[in-house]
Amino acid sequence: MATIKKKIRTIKINADLCNGCRTCEVVCSAGHATPRFSSNNPARARIHVITHRLENIFLPVFAGENTPAQCMGREKYVIDGKEYDECSFCKASCSARGRFIEPDSGLPLRCDMCEGEEQPLCVEWCLNKVLTLEEREEEVEEEVKLGEMELGLQSLVDKHGLEKLVDTIARMSQKS
């Protein structure tokens, strides 16, 4: 299979510089509003700054994949004498907590790195350079892109199994 060059975007988070202002949350939610910038609401942001000011914990975390089930166990990190809450470093939107879940619909939120923009809004508006963008190119194998129907069928296969799907289609085609 042919290889292509892919741009990898990484947001470097220097939590030591964070002053806990949450501008990143504000602009993220505003940038993802429809129409763009028509409203803002940090509860809709794809980034959240976990803060425990007196414990000196200022930790920006980005929304990752949704997870359908909670973890079986939990971890708590202690770094430099600071104890972080359970799940602090986890990016998932998850039923274990209210984070990265749309307040109205309950649907999961995920950071899209402001795709199509020169840089993510949170990076652009963080004047203290807590968040900086790093880009690099990697050679990756070219993926065969699935068409719309293939994607739909694939999700049915994932859910019901290939055999059942084939049987169903065969049965439906006989009826019609």
Partner 1 sequence: MRYAESGYNLEIDLATGNIEKVETDPKLMELHLGGLGTDVKIHYDRVPPETQAFDPENLLIFSAGLLCGTPTFSANRMLVTTISPQTGLLCYPMAGGFWASELKYAGYDKVIMRNKSPKLVYIYINNDKVEIRDATHLKGKGALEVQDLIREELNEPDAQVSAIGLAGENRCFVASIEQSKSSASRGGAGAVMGDKNVKAIAVRGTKDIYLADGLEFMKQLKILADWIDHRNHNPLPNKNIMTIHCGVGSPQAMKVIDESWHTQGFAWGNSRRRRKTFWNDAINKQWTEVQEKATKRFISCFNCPQQCGALITHEDTPRYMAKCFSKLSYMFAAEIDEQGFNWKILEPAFQYGFDSFSTPQILAMGVELRKDGIFTDEDWEGCPSDIAGTFFWLLDKMARREGRVGDLLADGCYGACQRLGLPEGKYDHNNIKKHEQMCVKLGMMDPLYYLMYSTNEKVSITQMEGNWPQEPFREMADREEFVKDWPHLPDEKFKKYFLDWEPRGEFANPFYPTKEISAELVDWMELLHNIDDALGICCGMGSFCLKPAYHIHNYCNFINAATGLNLDEAGLRKIVNRSRNLHRALQNRRGLRRKDEAPPKDHWKHRFPEYEYELLSYYYNFKGWNMDAIPTRKRLEELDLGYVADDLEKRGILKDDPDLIYVPNDNVSREESSIYLQDGQSDFYIPDDHVSRKEG
State the binding string over 1-20 for partner 1 (x if CB under 8 A, else -): ------------------xx
The CA distance from 23 to 25, in Å, is 5
State the binding string over 55-94 for partner 1 (x if CB under 8 A, else -): xx-x--------------------------x---------
CB 169 within 8 A of CB 50: no
**Residue 117, Ramachandran bin (φ over 0: left; ψ between -120 and 50: alpha; else beta):** beta
The CA distance from 99 to 91, in Å, is 9
Q: How many residues bind partner 1 (CB under 8 A)?
A: 30
Which of 30, 87, 90, 92 is close enough to bind partner 1 by CB under 8 A? 30
Interface residues for partner 1 in 141-160 (CB under 8 A)? none
Which of 39, 70, 95, 155 is close enough to bind partner 1 by CB under 8 A? 39
Shortest distance, position 171 Cβ to partner 1, whole Å: 47
Query: Residue 116, interface with partner 1 (CB under 8 A)?
Result: no
DSSP-assigned letters across all residues of 73-127? S----EETTEEPPTTTT---B-TTSSTTB-TTT--B----TTTTSSS-HHHHH-T
Shortest distance, position 27 Cβ to partner 1, whole Å: 6
Stretch (H or E) spanning 168: helix 162-175
CB 167 within 8 A of CB 157: no
Which residues bind to partner 1, rule: CB under 8 A? 19-23, 26-27, 30, 33, 35-44, 53-56, 58, 85, 103, 125-128
